[in-house]
A and B are shown apart, each in its own frame.
Chain A
Amino acid sequence: MYSCRQVSYILSDALERRLKPVEWLNLRLHLTICGMCRNYAHNIRVLEDVLVRLRQQVDDGTQQLSVRDRELILRNLEAITGHASGEPPAT
């Protein structure tokens, strides 16, 4: 029988790897009788759900490079690409 501490570890592992049947069984067994671990499992699921949304945010996110950052990048790149082309930097 798993302790709560072991269950918290297995719950995390369930997100990382395929659990063995015996691990699943012991986990389910513990969760049926332990409300505290059910709460923990619930919270970890909520956390995971939010993180997955964050991961997908790239495609519809709103953060942008600031105008200042853009200019900085462009200046730095121009300095390097100008030199590396083997021609004198444009004046």
Chain B
Amino acid sequence: MHQQDDQELVASWLEAHGDYLFRFALSRLAGDTEQARDMVQETLLAAWKGRKGFAGRSAVRTWLVGILKHKITDHIRLQIRSRQLHEDIESDPTSDWFGADGHWLEAPKAWRANPESLFEDSDFRRVLHRCLDALPALQRDVFVLRELGGEDSGTICNSCNITATHLHVLMHRARMALRGCLDLNWFGRSA
């Protein structure tokens, strides 16, 4: 009969917080819906296993989000470990943009767009996610954790095993690559 209660507990969490957790995971996994769903499942499972330790000091949602955050960081850390770390040497998009003298090879044009309307444009968001997906893996993971996950740099450096300087270089490269990608696939249209 306890079992019945337990199962209802998990079902009630899924009912009340499933969508929120899913959105939270999606925003930190660059829109990978399948992975986000798995993260929600793992979170609920871990919560169920640790249910006795939850003393109700915080709201259930806060507690679940805390678990989910750990799950996502672990997931990304594993991904990074399973990859070769030499990709950062191969992929420096910044050298494509400048001549040997450090001048722009092609002058950037200012985007004429309002961030609010861009954000509300689902076509733009799709292009943005495609551009994020196209980043080299480490750049993408670090950038998404930081920008969409709002994770602090200390946490990212620890989980990805990189230095603060390396993190800054990766963020810079990601920004430059994203700007180029959006320029080509979105803003270029109106130019």
Contact = CB atoms under 8 A, between A and B. Distances in A.
Contacts of A17: 164, 168
Contacts of A73: 14, 18, 37, 40-41, 44
Contact of B172 (A12, A35, A65): A12
A70 to B, nearest CB: 6
Interface of B: 2-4, 6-7, 10-11, 14, 18-20, 22-24, 26-27, 37, 40-41, 44-45, 48-49, 94, 97-98, 101-104, 107-111, 113, 115-116, 118-119, 124-125, 128, 147-150, 153, 164, 167-168, 171-172, 175-176, 178-179, 182-183
A48 B172 CA distance: 12
B37 A65 contact: yes
Nearest to A10: B172
B23 A57 contact: yes
B98 A74 contact: no
A54 B53 CA distance: 33
A84 B49 contact: yes
Interface size classification for chain A = 35 or more
Contacts of A44: 175, 179
Interface of A: 3-6, 8-9, 12-13, 15-17, 35-40, 42-44, 46-51, 53-55, 57-58, 61, 63-65, 69-70, 72-74, 76-78, 80-82, 84-85, 87, 90
Chief secondary structure at chain B's binding surface: helix
Chief secondary structure at chain A's binding surface: helix
Contact of B27 (A58, A70, A80, A90): A58
